């Protein structure tokens, strides 16, 4: 078995980087404190999240903690460059004081990790994900294969070298599609993947059928990102990061909610537990920016959901018949 995060429930850093709306430093640090008090010991961030803001906020909290007590992951692929009030269309709110350029070379990988360590003020990073090297990245689109080739020559060998040197414990890809994950396993020796948007109650078949068997065969693992579809499964009026509702997702949400109401199950709880159930999943990293959200997520991992609820979802075709489901709470 390759390296895995210390806890099944982690904390994702999108909201802490002002994803979707502005949050105060105070609220984000309180969310970090609540996560720690709930036993969370895996924290995932990225230079991309708020263009450095998420890393700074997470590091401010973690820098005084015992480094051996928690798992920390961040990402490479974008080098941040100082920029006064950078204008960027997307999910990041508030003032952005950095621009970015893509760099998947060996030198860029080292540079990015060193920059992240300085932003966070911590001594080491456990897991490094090659970030957003995927066909859904609007900056890349069909050109993502060229960036992948650059990473295969540069970032991947460099991360293997850093793992062998003991500078990191594991590396992989952090992406929203399965194609880069499959391709990475063909050409290199990754340990772990952060797969966002691909394993939820709404959509999970591709990861379940095409990726999980290969990951299990190699002793690797999956970190599930966006298990609530960026809030869609917890009542937020948005679905993931595209700014629109794909065909059929609202109807599926209504069907899921109907059955959840029938069994008096909190749909957010069911969504989190569903994403955590497969044995190849080493952690689930829902985002949070407040104490309340963190505590609700932790409580969801303690609940036991009736087996008949899961059988009904399978019987009605709302989840795959071979999808693993929990038998009891996780905490």
* d(C-alpha 39, C-alpha 30), whole Å: 14
User: Average pLDDT over the chain, rounded to whole?
Assistant: 96
pLDDT greater than 90 at residue 49: yes
* d(C-alpha 171, C-alpha 182), whole Å: 15
Task: Quote the pLDDT of residue 1.
Answer: 79
- Beta-sheet pairing, 98-102 with 78-82: antiparallel
> Do the beta carbons of residue 59 and residue 53 sit within 8 Å?
no
pLDDT greater than 90 at residue 243: no
* d(C-alpha 41, C-alpha 262), whole Å: 34
Task: Quote the pLDDT of residue 142.
Answer: 87
Residues 174-197 have pLDDT tens digits of 999 999 999 999 999 999 999 999
pLDDT band with cut points at 50, 70 and 90 for residue 31: very high
Residues 108-142 have pLDDT tens digits of 999 999 999 999 999 999 999 999 999 999 999 88
* d(C-alpha 276, C-alpha 299), whole Å: 14
DSSP designation for 44: E
Residues 70-115 have pLDDT tens digits of 999 999 999 999 999 999 988 999 999 999 999 999 999 999 999 9
Task: Quote the pLDDT of residue 286.
Answer: 97
% of the chain beyond a pLDDT of 90: 94
Task: Quote the pLDDT of residue 141.
Answer: 84
Task: Quote the pLDDT of residue 241.
Answer: 83
pLDDT greater than 80 at residue 271: yes
Residues 196-240 have pLDDT tens digits of 999 999 999 999 999 999 999 999 999 999 999 999 999 888 898
139 sits in the region (left: phi over 0; alpha: psi -120 to 50; else beta) called alpha
pLDDT band with cut points at 50, 70 and 90 for residue 43: very high
Q: Which residues form the catalytic set?
A: 44, 49, 75
| CA angle in degrees (0–180, nearest 5) for 230-78-222 | 50
- Tokens, residue 255: 């069907």
- Tokens, residue 60: 């401010």
Task: Quote the pLDDT of residue 295.
Answer: 97
Comparing CA positions, the residue from 238, 245, 234, 243 lying closest to residue 269 is: 234
How does 126-160 read in b/e, with b if 16+ C-beta sit within 10 Å? bbbbbbbbbbbbeebeeebeebbebbbebbbebbb
Residues 10-19 have pLDDT tens digits of 999 999 999 9
pLDDT band with cut points at 50, 70 and 90 for residue 65: very high
Domain boundaries, the chain: 11-315
Residues 6+ apart with CB under 8 A from 54: 13, 14, 16, 17, 45, 46
Q: How far are the Cα atoms of 13, 28, 36, 144, 287 from residue 291, in angstroms, in the given order? A: 14, 8, 11, 38, 12
Q: Which CATH class is domain 11-315?
A: alpha beta
CA atoms within 13 A on the CB side of 187: 19
The residue-averaged pLDDT of 143-167 equals 97
* d(C-alpha 299, C-alpha 311), whole Å: 23
């Amino acid at each position: 078995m390759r390296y895995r995060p210390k806890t099944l429930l982690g904390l994702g850093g999108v909201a802490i980087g002002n994803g979707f709306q502005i949050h105060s430093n105070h609220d984000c640090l309180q969310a970090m404190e609540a996560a720690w008090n709930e036993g969370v010991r895996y924290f995932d961030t990225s230079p991309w999240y708020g263009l450095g803001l998420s890393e700074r906020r997470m590091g401010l909290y973690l820098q005084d903690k015992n480094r051996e007590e928690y798992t920390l992951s961040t990402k490479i692929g974008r080098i941040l460059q100082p920029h006064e009030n950078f204008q960027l269309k997307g999910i990041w709110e508030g003032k952005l004081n950095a621009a970015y350029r893509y760099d998947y070379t060996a030198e860029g990988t080292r540079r990015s990790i060193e920059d992240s360590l300085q932003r966070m003020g911590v001594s080491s990073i456990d897991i490094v994900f090659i970030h957003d090297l995927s066909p859904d990245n609007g900056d890349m689109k069909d050109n993502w294969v060229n960036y992948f080739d650059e990473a295969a020559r540069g970032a991947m060998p460099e991360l293997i070298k850093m793992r062998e040197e003991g500078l990191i414990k594991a590396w992989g890809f952090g992406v929203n599609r399965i194609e880069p994950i499959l391709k990475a396993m063909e050409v290199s020796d990754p340990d772990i993947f952060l797969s966002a948007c691909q394993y939820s109650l709404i959509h999970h078949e591709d990861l379940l059928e095409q990726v999980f068997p290969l990951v299990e065969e190699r002793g690797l693992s999956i970190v599930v990102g966006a298990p609530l579809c960026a809030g869609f499964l917890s009542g937020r009026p948005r679905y993931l990061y595209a700014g629109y509702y794909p065909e059929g997702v609202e109807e599926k949400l209504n069907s899921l909610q109907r059955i959840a109401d029938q069994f008096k199950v909190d749909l957010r709880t069911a969504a989190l537990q569903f994403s955590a159930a497969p044995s190849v999943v080493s952690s689930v990293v829902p985002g949070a920016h407040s104490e309340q959200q963190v505590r609700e997520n932790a409580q969801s991992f303690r609940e036991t959901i009736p087996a008949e609820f899961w059988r009904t979802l399978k019987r009605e075709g709302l989840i795959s018949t071979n999808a693993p489901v929990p038998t009891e709470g996780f905490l």
